[in-house]
Chains A and B, each alone.
Chain A
Amino acid sequence: MRKSQIKIMESMAVLFVFFILLGFGLIFYSKLQRGSIQETQSEFVTLSAIETAQLVSFLPELSCTQNNVRIENCFDKLKLESFRNYWNETTESLAYYNSLFGNTLITIEEIYPDSNFFVVYNNSLSGNVTMLSTQVPILLFNATAPKNKDFTFGVLEVNVYTTPIGFSG
């Protein structure tokens, strides 16, 4: 073989190895990026869950008020009953609250002194989903109960559902 041919083949071999190494580097980088995207998605789900819990806690449709003065961390039982029945009563209200809460399950468990369980809103997902749960201790107010028994303790639970990235099912 001529010397020049050998030199060209040498150069080609060097370039070949260089691009192989570059390829390995790019594969490693893309795997890192994928991990970062999944972390971002997880952060997003957590943020979404907290936002929804915050939204629910301050919703005028559920909060206790006394002559329009809001009571912190308090839910009105009569409003809860009304809301449970009417949020999906019409197409318009269904669309409105679906866009507000998304794929969420909102429940309230009355724990002391009475024991009750309310499903306030249900638009949960099933199957291979990620669910994040947020629980908040609350007061429950019953306007029709006697004055010394109108407040009880409960727990608000907000479960937010998302589909993981890469899952098309």
Chain B
Amino acid sequence: MVWVKKKGIMEVQFSWIFILVVGAIILLFFASIVTKQKQSSDIKFSGTLVKRMRSILTGVEVSSGTSHKIDIPNARIELTCDTYSIGRTGGSYKNKIVFSPSLIRGDEMVTWTLPWSAPFKIANLLLLTGLNTKYVFIDGIGDFDQEFYDSFPANITKEIANTPFNVPLENYDKVKFVFVNATDSEVLSSNLFFLQSMKDSDVRAVNIKSDGHLGFFVKNGANFQFEGESFYIGDALKPAAVFAEDLEMYECSLSKAMKRFNFVTKLYMNRTQMLANANISECPAAYYSTNQLEQIEAYTRSFDISDLESLNDAIDSLEYRNSLLEQKSCPYIY
């Protein structure tokens, strides 16, 4: 047979096969290195953003009453009540009290730090949002508070609309409607005609009532559905309810806030007792009775919404007592 006698042909074929096999092995090896490096690089980038986010959150937390716009180059940040994640990396807020949508996407994130006092300073509330969430303040249903609207940072996506019906479909990930002193039936009967194609969970509403109650609603088809009720104490929690993704996130952060409220109240009770024991001359016996502080401590230890009015009364009473001390040039309770 011819091919058996052609040794050169055999050698050449074997050589090529050998080159192809080894070449493939080397290419696969380098391709796997490149893939692993890309994954590692993505994780490193996410890690850098997470580290940056942590510094940002700590920095803005202490900058009470300020709003900042932070560059987050084309990032996708997923947030819950306790944690945030960017890609495969994430972090925890620790004990920061944060209210935000569940997704912040894009090139910018807005932070707003509000001091929460009732009546003494308890904590700074961190409100986060992105330009991918639109906030629509309704002025044709219930009341409209221009001052409340103006207090929101100018660099968030906010607008005023007569009714939810007038709001067109635009390229936003989430839309949050804000009602003030509307009735539940007015909110439920609102028509979301142009937003029907949006996912139900991405269109929500909050109804802020002046008696301290909050109503949370979520889209269901072309209308709203009642999600649940909560409360606020002090003005800072009203914008917090607007920024929170939903009732669950609001209540989760609120429970952290109430726990903190309880700890700070206990501290002031101890402090007031020390002031009483100091027997400061010409100062009234205001320090000897810590009724209001005890009431606040009891209510914040395990809060029920039926206690809201009593808690607000205790807070107002404490504020009044503290202001009386100023008239006598005596040390304040807080």
CB contacts (< 8 Å) of A96 on chain B: these are 95, 259, 263
Closest residue on chain B to residue A3 by CB atoms: B11
Stretch in contact with the other chain, from A57-65, A103-111, A128-136: A57-65
Least Cβ–Cβ distance between A73 and chain B, in angstroms: 12
**Interchain CB contact (< 8 A) of B326 among A51, A63, A67:** A67
CB contacts (< 8 Å) of B122 on chain A: these are 60
CB contacts (< 8 Å) of B59 on chain A: these are 54
Closest residue on chain B to residue A18 by CB atoms: B26
Chain A contact residues: helix, strand, loop or mixed: helix
Query: Given A44-B51, A54-B58, A100-B94 in contact, is the A70-B121 Cβ separation under 8 Å?
Result: yes
Chain A residues 26-80 with CB under 8 Å of chain B are: 44, 47, 51, 54-55, 57-58, 60-61, 63, 65-68, 70, 76, 78-79
* Contact mask for chain A residues 101-138; partner B; CB cutoff 8 A; 1 contact, 0 none: 00000000000000000000000000000000000000
**Interchain CB contact (< 8 A) of B18 among A11, A54, A60, A144:** A11
State A7–B12 Cα separation when bound (angstroms). Answer: 11
Chain B residues 56-88 with CB under 8 Å of chain A are: 58-59, 61-62
Whether A93 contacts B263 by the Cβ 8 Å rule is yes
State A78–B274 Cα separation when bound (angstroms). Answer: 7
State A46–B54 Cα separation when bound (angstroms). Answer: 13
Number of A-B residue pairs with CB-CB distance less than 8 Å in the complex they form: 86
Whether B323 contacts A82 by the Cβ 8 Å rule is no
Whether B331 contacts A4 by the Cβ 8 Å rule is no
**Interchain CB contact (< 8 A) of A86 among B54, B61, B124, B266:** B266
Whether A143 contacts B331 by the Cβ 8 Å rule is yes
Least Cβ–Cβ distance between B332 and chain A, in angstroms: 5
Query: Given A65-B334, A96-B95 in contact, is the A86-B18 Cβ separation under 8 Å?
Result: no
Number of interface residues of A (CB under 8 A): 36
**B280 at the binding interface (Cβ < 8 Å):** yes
* Contact mask for chain B residues 100-143; partner A; CB cutoff 8 A; 1 contact, 0 none: 00000000000000000101111110000000000000000000
**B191 at the binding interface (Cβ < 8 Å):** no
CB contacts (< 8 Å) of A153 on chain B: these are none
Whether B267 contacts A79 by the Cβ 8 Å rule is yes
Closest residue on chain A to residue B33 by CB atoms: A26
**Interchain CB contact (< 8 A) of B264 among A61, A66, A67:** A61
**B188 at the binding interface (Cβ < 8 Å):** no
Least Cβ–Cβ distance between B124 and chain A, in angstroms: 8
Contacts A63-B121, A96-B95, A143-B331 known; list 5 others, CB within 8 Å.
A3-B11, A51-B55, A58-B124, A60-B121, A96-B263
Q: Would you give 11 A-B contacts (Cβ < 8 Å), ordered by A?
A: A3-B11, A11-B18, A55-B58, A58-B124, A60-B120, A81-B270, A82-B274, A96-B263, A143-B331, A144-B280, A144-B331
